[in-house]
Structure 1
């Protein structure tokens, strides 16, 4: 049962650039804070563009069995204990067509999240730093013959992190050929992501909180990316990270901007709420 003095039924977090610290890990203060929230009966939702197995391994140290993991930008939701709650896959014939999207493989990587697997068209050893906490890794795939089962997300990433302009032809192509049947977003400026139509973090979280008997208006959420916008607009209290790209801040100009993820700003913000709860 939620503490009468804690103002929210649930706390909702993005991971990269929000809950994770500078080392792409859950910091000690963050772990302590999430456990304190759980002890008060507050629900925990982690909502990310990452895939389920990656997130599961990353948050295992929390040891909170009923935390809900919303992954692939809302295409899938699971309890930490392994129970799958919902999934929204791209239809196989649409995924097959998307896999044939023309692109310059010297400038872009093509990826897909399918079930528990991550597929990519080329190896990228330098990415392993982002998955050191979970140990999760990709499988090489030939997308001309790749299967189309359980496709949660298809995404293109530029090889030049600081030059996302290379995504423009891909975005134009997808808009032209698939706008009526897919949902698109960016988790980072250099990452263009495609899900089934209508799939986003906000919509999936709305489904999940309804299952719990309350609404997103009774929740607080934290995020930094374009793929967090629907989520942050839907909750009772949305907080934008100081390190968020300017486009996010401009879109959500009415929301409070808090500190930087590198200093565990989310945990510090919640500690202030918890202190008021204990007064």
Structure 2
């Protein structure tokens, strides 16, 4: 088996128009033809991953929800780490009581729920990006879910920084990390993209020291630390660029620039 090429999606694989450019598409396809395996690793849900990756390949293993759900190329679950729905409902209640413009979203399997009436525009913007519709819901409904893979909080960067601090004190059992300036992710402790890539490597019998990973934000850091060839995009925050090799940004085929140099 060839090596694994792990890649984040938003800000990494796709450009600011939400497209995989022809050059990046071809560079990845050339690696697949050589026998290497392309693995998207994203905070997105599985269907929203395939809405992008389906343009490159029809089937691949994937790490969804920042590592809370890991699937093989047939869509079978390799790992699933969820929080109790009662806890998710508690966090959503806390956000609603704050009533400061932060909006909650809850993800379970292939479903995306949100609270309508509070800053709906933020949800509409996310729907456009991921090409998937959220379902209006309520805290009572969230409480009834069988499992919750992820909570996503949307808001202004400053509000989310403050919310992150508050939630970390209130819920030390959760891993709370920004995936973009205006997006804050909540998953159970032990869940990370780093954990997700380890599950895939183990399932496929790959040596992570030989694998590549591309990312652009803090939720990619554990994935980048897990592989032998970590690369951050030119649009990544400065302190990530100080830690890892850096390529061109996501609007200038940063992934292709690296892959085209691999033998």
| Distance change in 2, residues 1:30/1:63 (3 Å) | same
Is contact 2:14-2:20 (8 Å) kept? yes
Q: What 5-or-longer segments of structure 2 have no aligned partner?
A: none
SS at match of 1:70: strand
TM-score (norm 2): 0.90
Q: Deviations over 1:92-111 (max 9, x none)?
A: 33223222224543421111
Is contact 1:14-1:228 (8 Å) kept? yes
Is contact 1:35-1:64 (8 Å) kept? no
| Distance change in 2, residues 1:121/1:247 (3 Å) | farther
Q: What 5-or-longer segments of structure 1 have no aligned partner?
A: 3-8
Q: Deviations over 1:6-59 (max 9, x none)?
A: xxx111100011111231122212221222111111121110111111112222
Which residue is equivalent to 1:36? 30
- Residue 227 of structure 1: how far off its partner (Å): 0.2
Query: Is it true that 1:220 corresponds to 2:202 in the alignment?
Result: no
- Residue 208 of structure 1: how far off its partner (Å): 1.6
Query: Is it true that 1:165 corresponds to 2:164 in the alignment?
Result: no
Which residue is equivalent to 2:94? 101
Query: Is it true that 1:126 corresponds to 2:119 in the alignment?
Result: no
1:260 to 238, 249, 252: 249
SS at match of 1:262: coil
Cα distance between partner residues in 2 of 1:247 and 1:102: 30
- Residue 176 of structure 1: how far off its partner (Å): 1.9
2:191 to 199, 204, 208: 199
Which residue is equivalent to 1:240? 232
- Residue 64 of structure 1: how far off its partner (Å): 4.1
Which residue is equivalent to 1:59? 53
Cα distance between partner residues in 2 of 1:80 and 1:56: 11
1:63-78 equivalence runs, <5 A: 63-65=57-59, 67-78=60-71
RMSD: 1.8
Which residue is equivalent to 1:14? 8
Which residue is equivalent to 2:147? 150
TM-score (norm 1): 0.85
Structure 1, 75-84 or 115-124: larger mean CA deviation: 75-84
Q: Deviations over 1:210-258 (max 9, x none)?
A: 1211232221101001100001111101111110123433xxx231111
Which residue is equivalent to 1:137? 133
Which residue is equivalent to 1:5? none
Is contact 1:45-1:69 (8 Å) kept? yes
Is contact 1:99-1:144 (8 Å) kept? no
Is contact 2:178-2:185 (8 Å) kept? yes
Query: Is it true that 1:88 corresponds to 2:87 in the alignment?
Result: no
Q: How many residues align?
A: 256
